[in-house]
Chain A
Amino acid sequence: MRQGGRVGLGLVLPLALAIGWEIAVDSGLVSGRLLPPPSRIGATLLDLAASGDLLMHVEATLIRVGLGFLWGAAAGILAGALVATLPILRWLVDPSVQALRAVPSLAWVPLFILWFGILETPKVLLIAVGVFFPVYVGVSGAIASVDRKLVEVGRIFRLSRLALAWRILLPAVLPATLVGLRTGLGLGFLFVVAAELMGASEGLGYLLVDGQQFSKPDQIVAAIITFALAGKLADMVLVTLTRPLTRWQDTARESL
C-alpha cells in the first residue's frame, strides 16, 4: 500500500473511538464529566489558542526542552567523545557515569529543588540530565566501535589526526550519535513534564496541574494532545535537519 494509504489506515482507530465517544456523550449514554467529548476538548483548545495562552505555554515548554536538550546533548557528546578516546578517562569516569545512569532521573527532582529552587535552573537541568545519558552512551559506543579497517585507510593516505577525526571518525559515528540525540529529545519531552509538575506558572505541564486542581479534564486532555503534537513536531524537525547527513546509510531512517 502507498504511504498515504497506510497513514490513513492508522487514523481509523483513533477517529472511530473519538466519534464513538462523541456520540455516546451526545446521546446521554455517559456523562462525559471525567472524559469530555472531542468537541469540548477542541473548543477548549480553540479558546486557549484564541486567548494567546496556548502559545505562551507551548513556548515556555519548548524553550525549556530546547535549552535542556542543547546542554544535555553538548555535555553528552563532549563526555562521550573524551571517554571513548582517552583510556584513562574511560577507566576513571565511565563507571561513575554508568552508575549515575542507573538512577531513575526523577529521583533527582527533590535534590535539584533544594539546590536550585523552583525556577528555571532545576527544570532545564533535569531535562539536560535526561538528554545527557542516551547521547553519552550513543557517542562513546559509536567511537569505540569505529571500524579499525577504515581507520587504516586513513593511515594509508597519511591523514593528520585532525583529518582522521574529521574525515573518518566523525562520519562513522554520526548515525549512532543522531540516534542518541533523537532518543535524548524524546526523553527531554518526558522530563519537561516532570519538571513542570514540580511547580511552574507557565508551560504545558502547568496546564496539566492547573487542570487537575480545578477539575478541568478538557484542559488536561488538551495539554496532553499539545504535548504529543509538540514532541512529534520536534522529532520531525530533528530528523529532517539531519537526514542529509546519513543518506548514505543502508537502513532507511524513515522506518526507525
Chain B
Amino acid sequence: MTGATVQVGRGPSLQPLTQDTPVLIVDDLSKTYADGTQALSGISLSVRPGEIVALIGGSGCGKTTLLRLIAGLDHASRGTVQVDGETIREPHPNVGVVFQEARLLPWLNVAGNVGFGLAGLPRSERRARVARALERIGLAEHGGRWPRELSGGQQQRVAIARAFVTHPRVLLLDEPFSALDAFTRRDLHDQLLGLWGETKPTILLVTHDVGEAVTLADRVVVMRPRPGRLDETIDIGLARPRDPVAAHHEGAVRRVMAALDRSLRPAATHPPLAPETRAAWW
C-alpha cells in the first residue's frame, strides 16, 4: 500500500566478488556548484567490501559534497561513482546514508523510523530486524516513543539503526557523532561496530575527530580544501576490538596527526605550526 520501490539488501551482484574487488569505486570525481564554487576536484578512491574508511578534513573541504555524490543525491560535474559495478546516478538500494542531523520523521515513533526503509519486506521480517537493531543500540524499550522525546544521542542512534536495517552494502556516515559529547561518542562507537559486525557493510565515515577515525577505521583519508581533493591515506592496521588507550593506538593517532600536519603545510619551507593552530584546525 505504501508503494515503496525500495529493494532491500540485494546482496552481491552477479559477478563474483572477492575480498579484493572494490565495492565502491570513485573515479576522477569533480563537482562545481551552479554558483561556480568548485567543491571537489579529481577525487579517486576505492573501498573494499567490509572496509571502514574515515574521511577527515577541515570545514568546507567538500566532505559532505563527496558523500552526496556517492549517495546519488546530487550529480557530479565530471567522473563517476560505482557501487558493485553499477554507476550511481540516483540513490541506490545498496547504499545507506546517515546524515549529520538525525533527520528522523517526527510523525513516526522510534520503531517506525527504524523500519522506514523496510516497507518492501514482510511484516514479521520487518519487526524482527527493527527489534534486533533497537536491541543493538540500547533502545529496545523505546520503540514506541516519539523522536521529540529522545535525546540528541538517542536520535542519532535511531538514524544509524534506520540506515543499517536495510543491510546496505555501502554505508555513508556524515559526521554522525560530531554534536555529541565524548562519553556518548564512546558508547556509539561500540554500538556502531556492533551493528557493523552483523552484516559487515563498507563504511565511509566523515569525521573531525582523529581519535574517532583511529578507533573505527581501517584507513584514514585526509582531504584538502579549495578545491576539495584527497591527500594522504594512513593505514591504521589495528585488530578489532580496539583499545583506545593502548600504546599502538596512540601511535596510529600520531601518524594521522602527522599526516594532517603535512597536509596543512605542503611546502617544507614553511615554519612548523604552533600546537594551538593545529588543534583549532580540525
User: Which A residues are within 8 Å of any B CB, using their own CB?
Assistant: 149-150, 152-153, 155-160, 162-163, 166-168, 171-172, 174, 248-250
Considering only CB atoms, which chain B residue lies closest to A147 in the complex?
B103
Q: Are B4 and A158 in contact (CB under 8 A)?
A: yes
Min CB distance, A153 to chain B, in Å? 5
Category for how many chain B residues contact A: 20 to 34
Task: Flag if B103 contacts A150 (CB, 8 Å).
Answer: yes
Residues of A within 8 A of B105 (CB): 150, 153, 168, 171
What are the interface flags for B5-44 relative to A under an 8 Å C-beta threshold, 1 for contact and 0 otherwise?
1110000000000000000000000000000000000000
Query: Which residues on the A side are within 8 Å of B57 (C-beta)?
Result: none
Task: Name 21 interchain pairs, CB-CB below 8 A, sorted by A.
Answer: A149-B101, A150-B105, A153-B105, A153-B116, A155-B73, A155-B90, A156-B91, A157-B91, A157-B117, A157-B166, A158-B93, A159-B5, A159-B6, A160-B4, A162-B3, A163-B2, A163-B3, A167-B119, A168-B105, A171-B105, A250-B148
Residues in chain A near residue B116, CB distance under 8 A = 153, 157, 167
Q: B90 — which chain A residues lie within 8 A by C-beta? A: 155, 158
Consensus secondary structure, chain A interface: helix
Nearest CB in chain A: distance from B146 CB, A: 5
* Residues in B lying within 8 Å of A, measured CB to CB: 2-7, 71, 73, 90-91, 93, 96-97, 99, 101, 103, 105-109, 116-117, 119, 146, 148, 166
A248: chain B residues within 8 A (beta carbon):
106-109, 146, 148
What residues of chain A lie closer than 8 Å to B93, measured between beta carbons? 158
Residues of B within 8 A of A157 (CB): 4, 6, 91, 116-117, 166
Which of B2, B71, B109, B117 contacts A166 (CB under 8 A)? B2
Q: Shortest beta-carbon distance, B159 to chain A, in Å? A: 9
Q: What is the CB-to-nearest-CB distance from B126 to chain A, in angstroms, rounded to a whole number? A: 13
For the complex, give the distance between the alpha carbons of A149 and B99 in Å.
Answer: 9
With contacts A149-B103, A150-B105, A250-B148 known, is A156 near B71, CB below 8 A?
A: yes
Question: Bound state CA distance, A152 and B99, in angstroms?
Answer: 10
With a CB–CB cut-off of 8 A, which chain B residues contact A174? 107
Give the Cβ gap from B10 to chain A, nearest Cβ, in Å: 12
- Whether the Cβ atoms of A160 and B5 lie closer than 8 Å is yes
Q: Chain A contacts of B73 at CB under 8 A?
A: 152, 155-156
Pairs A-B, 4 closest by C-beta atoms: A157-B117, A163-B3, A171-B107, A248-B107
- 20 further A-B contacts with Cβ under 8 Å, apart from A160-B3, A167-B116, are A149-B103, A152-B99, A153-B105, A156-B91, A156-B96, A156-B97, A157-B4, A157-B166, A158-B4, A158-B7, A158-B93, A159-B3, A160-B5, A163-B3, A166-B2, A166-B3, A167-B119, A171-B107, A248-B109, A248-B146
Given A163-B2, A166-B3, CB of A155 within 8 Å of CB of B107: no
A9 to B73 alpha-carbon distance, docked (Å): 56
